Amino acid sequence: MHIHSIPMWTGKGNNYAYVVSDSKTKEAVVIDPANPPEVLPVLKEQTDSGKIKLTSIINTHHHHDHAGGNSEILKHYPLPVIGGKDCAHVTNTPAHNSTFTIGDSIKVRALHTPCHTQDSICYFFEDGDERAVFTGDTLFIGGCGRFFEGTPEEMDKALNQILGSLPDDTKVYPGHEYTKGNVKFAIQVSQDDAIKRLHKFAEENKETQGKTTIGDEKEFNVFMRLNDPTIQKATGASEPLQVMAKLREMKNAA
């Protein structure tokens, strides 16, 4: 499995699109190709050179900065669109926990994680011992998305039950580069060693996608530590869903 990151709107939205390909067959998908002027040249170079055979577009949710490039991409690559029910030009919305394959060796499991949007889907990729999850705006490195269409209960389920149950060595590929902002907030909540480690990591890495794991997130992501007494004290709440709600309120105001 080969993962190629495409930064988009750097310095503004700080988005990521991803091209994921099967190393043997070269079959590939492009995830959240929201800004065609930045994505199409990469796709053209890789398809023209035979590095990849593009088979589908995947969207994590319907927001314009994730699915808004579909129309233009489809003009050049008329392919199926796999994504949530509200994504532009979607042709297939996979059921929760359903699977599909890319090439000979990549197995993908669709994980429904409604909250940021009700059509949010994360995609868990496995290829032998390699594991990666593409989390859109549900899970960021050290943070999570705003609850635009959902509740604290839904985000708790998404992060701590669904994504949190993935193997600890699963690498995390979010939809945005928000790590520095997330760690700035986390330090206000806790100054323990895990968050200090995240701070050092964020300072040393301009791009953090694919460099941390689900196991790391359980250690330093405050939204995945709802039972931690330090986090509870900072929020003034003890019940996990109240802690989640308060953390999001605090982060929104930060």
Q: Tell me the C-alpha distance between 5 and 31, whole Å.
A: 10
- Considering 61, 62, 112, 199, which one is annotated as catalytic? 61
Is the sign of the CA dihedral 48, 53, 57, 60 positive or negative?
negative
Q: Is 86 one of the annotated active-site residues of the chain? A: no
Is the Cβ–Cβ distance between 186 and 222 less than 8 Å? Answer: yes
CA atoms of 97 and 73, how far apart (whole Å)? 27
Does 66 qualify as catalytic in the annotation?
Answer: yes
CB proximity list for 52: less than 8 A, separation 6 or greater: 19, 21, 26, 27, 28, 43, 46
How many Å separate Cα 127 from the centre of its chain? 18
The question of whether 199 is a catalytic residue gets the answer no
Catalytic residue among 156, 176, 199, 216: 176
- How many CB atoms sit inside 10 A of residue 161's CB? 10
**Is residue 127 among the annotated active site residues?**
no
Out of 32, 65, 127, 216, pick the active-site residue. Answer: 65
116 is catalytic: yes
Q: Can 137 be counted among the known catalytic residues?
A: yes
Residue of 66, 119, 127, 199 marked catalytic: 66
> Which of 22, 32, 62, 63 is flagged as catalytic?
63
62 is known as an active-site residue: no
- Out of 62, 112, 116, 199, the active site residue is 116
For helices 179-189 and 240-253, the axis angle rounded to 10 degrees is 120
Instruction: Dig out the tokens for 224 from the structure.
Output: 């995945």
Of residues 119, 127, 137, 216, which has the active-site annotation?
Answer: 137
CA atoms within 13 A on the CB side of 172: 32
Through-space distance between the first and last CA atoms of the chain, rounded to whole angstroms: 38
DSSP state string for 60-128: S---HHHHTTHHHHHHHS---EE--TTSTT--B-PPTT-EEEETTTEEEEEEE--SSSTT-EEEEEEET
**Active-site amino acid positions:** 61, 63, 65-66, 116, 137, 176
